[in-house]
Structure 1
C-alpha cells in the first residue's frame, strides 16, 4: 500500500501538480479505490457465508440455523472482514492528514461498536425466536429478557462511543456518569419497573402468553399476545388491542381465566327468577300427573311412598294439604333440574352439579343452576348454557311455575 501510495503521488507531482493538491487527489483516489475493494469483498464474503449457512440449515434438523438466516446473522458477520481491512489501510491513506486520520479512525471505532451491536441484536433475536418454539418456554415473557440485554448492550455501546469521541477513557467516563445516575433512573423508570414486573410475573407464573385475562381498569378482556418491558398486549375478543403496563399486573387486581381453561369444565352459574305466588303443595292428582315426566317418575314414586307411609303412621289429617309431609312443585322442579343436568351429555358429571334456591328477592325466588360444561370453548359453552335454560324455561309451566318478568306495555292492554 505504501509503494502504491508513493508511486501515485510521485506520478501526480511529475505532471506538474502542486504538492498539496497532489496530496488531496492522492488521498481521494486511494480512498475511492479502498471503498470499491471493501464493497466487493463485503459482497463476496456475504454470498459465501450466506450460502454456507443455507446449506447447513438444509442438512440439520433444528430450526436454529434457519432463524440465524432470518435474523440476518450471517449478513452482519460478513461485514467484519471488510471493516478490518478498512481499519488497517485508513492510516496509510490519510498519512498526510493526521487530524483527518484521527477523526476517521474514531468514526471507524464507533462503527465497530455499532457493528457489534448489530451482531448481538441479531443473535439475541434468533435466540428469542428459537426459545419461543420450545413448548415449555413459548408462554414465557422472553421478549422482556431480550430487551433488557439489548438495553444494557446499547447503553454500554453509547457510553463507549461517547468515550471514544471525547477521548476520555471508558472507566473514567463511567465513573463520571455516577453524578447523573438520578437522571438516568428517572429516564428509565418505566423500563426498570417493567423489568422487575416481568421477573415477578414470570417467577409467580401470574400471566403467560395465550392466557385469557380480564382487566377492567384498562378495559382488557381477551388473550395475552405479547409480554415485553414496556407493555403487555391483550387482544380483546372484538379484535382490538389493549396495552397494559407490566407493573400494573402486580400493583392492581385482574382476573386470569387460565384455571378454567386448564380444568375439566367451564362453570355454568345462572339463576331463574320464579314467581313466589306459583309455589304450592302438590296433591295426589298433581303428583300422578307429574309422574308422566320420565326423568322424575322413579323419584316421585319412591318419595310419595315414603311420604304416605309417614303420614299414615302419624295419622296425619290430609284434608288440609299443609298437614304432615308434602311435595311442592318448586321442590320437584329442583329435582327435575338435577336429573336433567345429570343426564345432559354436555355437562361434566365429575364436577359439581347443583340446583339451589337462593334467598327470595323482590323479583321472586332465584333458583340457581350450578354446573360445569365439558366443552370450554366460548361459542360451544354459550350454546350449551342456552340449550339448558331454553329447556328449563319451557319446562316451568308443567310444574305450575312461572318466570318473574316486569310488566311491559302489552301487559296493560285491555283484552
Structure 2
C-alpha cells in the first residue's frame, strides 16, 4: 500500500507540473492516467516481444526436448507475453485512477478479460502441444486423442465465456449457469453434432475401432482412403484419388465401414479373382497330352501319381483303359488346376501360411469360373497389383498349353464363325472335286467312243 501511495503521489505531482490546475477528480486526469498506463503496458509488451521472446526461443532450440519446440511452434510463449501488459494494467489502474471514476471499473474488467483470453489462447497452445507429442509417440497408433483435446478446448472456451459474462454483468458464474438450464434444449440442438461426436470419440478410443492412418471404405459416402484426422465433429479422409472427404465423426459408429487395418497388420493381402474357361475347350486327356504335361516341372510328380492311381483302379475293377465309357481319365481343366496350385505354392510373393487354393465356381453363361484364392506377401498397393498381374499373365499364357481357352464373348463367336466357314469351304471343295472328276470321266468316255 505504501508503494502504491508513493507511486500515485509521484504521478500526481508530475501531472500537476504540466497541468497546475488539474485535480484527481477531473475527467482529464483519468484520461491522462489511462493513457500513461496503456503507454507503459505497450512498452512492456514491446520489450517482452523484442528481448524476452528471442531469448526464450534460443533456449528452446538449444534444448534436446521435443515438447518445448512444439510449444514454440504453437505460439505458447508469444501468447503468454500478452499476460504481462494485461497484468500491469490490472495492477496500475487502482493505483492511478480513483475507484469512483467512471472508467475505473471498465479498465479493470477489460484487463481481466484481456488476461482471461490470453490465458485461454496459451492453454490452447499447450493442449495442441500435448496432442502433437502424443501423435508422435507409439501410443497414437492405438487410440487417437484429437477428439478429447477438442472437447477440452471446447470446455475451457465455455468456461471462459461464462466467466467473461459474469465479469461484464457483475454476477456469479453459478447464477449464470443456473440460468442456462432454461435454454438447455436449444443448446442441445446447437451442439448436437458435438455431443454425438464426443460420444462416438469415446467409443472409437475405447474399442480401438479407428485411428489416423487407417484405410477405410464407406460406399455410402464414396469414401475409400486413409484417415488423416479424427476430430470432435469431423473426420478427414484422403481418398486414393487425392481428394479429401469430410464426414461426421459419429458416422464411423452408425454407418457400415470397412477398415483395412486387419489386412495391413496381417501377413498378406488377399488375391481373389477368377478367369472364365470356355466349356467347349474342356476335354479328357489322352496319352499325348499326359506325356506333354509330365514334362512340366511343377506337376510331373502329380501326373505320375495320377497315372499310378488310375492304373491301380483299372486293375482292381478289371477295366480296359481303352474303354472310354467305363475307364477313368484325367481332364485338362483338372490338371491345369493342379498346375496352378503347385505354381502358387512355389511363388516367392505368395504367403504360404495363409489360405491358398484354386477352385471352380458354379458355371454360368460366361463359362466355367476358375478362381485363384491366395494372399500376396506384398501388401503395398502398387507391389500388390504387380504380383497379381504377373500371376494372371502367367495363367492366361498357360491356357493354350493345356488346350484350354478363356471365354470371350466376341472371340467365341468368331471361333464358331471360323469353324462354320471352314466346314463350308471343305464342303464346296469336295463338291468341286466331285464335279471335276465327273467331267473328266465324261471326257474320257467320249474319247473312247470316237
Whether TM exceeds 0.5 here: the answer is: yes
Partner of 1:208: 211
Matched, 1:277 2:280: yes
Q: CA deviation at 1:61?
A: 2.9
**Residues 224 and 233 of structure 1 are in contact (CA less than 8 Å); yes or no, is this contact kept in structure 2?**
yes
Partner of 1:35 in structure 2?
A: 38
Q: Distance in 1 between matches of 2:274 and 2:47?
A: 74
Q: Aligned pair 1:3/2:21, yes or no?
A: no
Contact in 1 for aligned 2:99/2:105 (Cα 8 Å): no
Q: Describe the shift of the 1:340–1:236 C-alpha distance in structure 2 as closer, same or farther (beyond 3 A).
A: same
Q: 1:361 to 1:77 in 2, by over 3 A?
A: same
Hey, what's the Cα distance between the residues in 2 that align with 1:382 and 1:80?
58
Match of 2:234 among 222, 228, 231: 231
| Mapped pair 1:388 → 2:394 | no
- Deviation track 1:70-104 (CA, whole Å, cap 9, x = no partner) reads 11222222322322211112234432862221122
Q: Hey, what does 2:150 align to over in structure 1?
A: 147
> In the alignment, which of 251, 262, 265 is matched to residue 265 of structure 2?
262
Kept after mapping to 2: 8 A contact 1:139/1:210: no
Residue-by-residue CA offset, 1:252-280 (whole Å, 9 max, x unaligned) = 11100111111111111101111112211
Deviation at 1:52, TM superposition (A): 5.0
CA contact (8 A) 2:350 2:374 kept: yes
Residue correspondence of structure 1 range 6-155 to structure 2 within 5 A = 6-11=12-17, 13-14=19-20, 23-47=26-50, 49-51=52-54, 53-58=56-61, 60-95=63-98, 98-138=101-141, 140-155=143-158
Does the CA-based 8 Å contact 1:131-1:138 persist in structure 2? no
Q: Distance in 2 between matches of 1:413 and 1:324?
A: 34
Structure 1 distance, partners of 2:324, 2:339, is 22
- In the alignment, does 2:301 pair up with 1:295? no
Distance in 1 (CA, whole Å) between partners of 2:370 and 2:412 is 27
Alpha carbons of structure 1 residues 303 and 255: separation in structure 2 relative to 1, 3 Å: same
SS in 2 for 1:359: coil
Unaligned ranges ≥5, structure 2 = 1-6, 422-450
Q: Kindly tell me: are residues 68 and 105 of structure 1, through their superposed partners in 2, closer, same or farther at Cα, counting changes over 3 Å?
A: same
CA distance in 1, matches of 2:101, 2:82: 26
User: Would the aligned equivalents of 1:296 and 1:336 in 2 still touch at CA under 8 Å?
Assistant: yes
Which of these residues, 310, 313, 316, is aligned with residue 310 of structure 1?
Answer: 313
Distance apart, 1:247 and its partner CA = 0.8
Asked if 1:331 corresponds to 2:334, the answer is: yes
Q: 1:138 to 1:409 in 2, by over 3 A?
A: closer
Say if 2:234 and 2:248, in contact at 8 Å, map to a contact too.
Answer: yes
Query: What count of residue pairs does the alignment treat as equivalent?
Result: 412
User: 117-126 or 36-45, which moves further after superposition?
Assistant: 36-45
**1:159 correspondence with 2:162:** yes
> CA shift at 1:121, angstroms?
0.8
- The aligned counterpart of 1:377 is 380
Query: In the aligned structure 2, how far is the partner of 1:127 from the partner of 1:49?
Result: 24
SS at match of 1:136: helix
CA displacement, residues 309-338 of structure 1 (integer Å, 9 cap, x when unaligned): 221232113333242221111110000001
CA RMSD of aligned residues (A): 2.3
CA 1:33–1:13 in 2, change beyond 3 Å: closer, same or farther? closer
Residue 360 (structure 2) aligned to one of 357, 362, 372: 357
Paired position in structure 2 for 1:188: 191
Query: How far has the Cα of 1:349 moved from its partner?
Result: 1.5
Is residue 247 from structure 1 mapped to residue 253 from structure 2 by the alignment?
Answer: no
Check conservation: 1:141, 1:228, Cα contact below 8 A: no
Tell me, yes or no, if the aligned pair for 2:117 and 2:160 is still in contact at 8 Å: yes
Q: CA deviation at 1:161?
A: 0.8
The two structures have a TM-score, normalised by structure 2, of 0.86
Question: Which deviations, in whole Å up to 9, do the C-alpha atoms of 1:268-303 show, x marking residues without a partner?
Answer: 110111111221111222211222222212211121
Q: Is the 8 A contact 2:82 2:115 kept in 1?
A: no
Is the 2:86–2:112 Cα contact (8 Å) retained in structure 1?
A: no
Give TM-score, length-normalised by structure 1. 0.93
Does the 8 Å contact 1:53/1:65 carry over to 2?
no
The question of 1:217 aligning with 2:231 is answered no
The answer to whether the 8 A contact 1:71-1:125 is kept is yes
Compare CA radii of gyration and give the structure with the larger one.
2
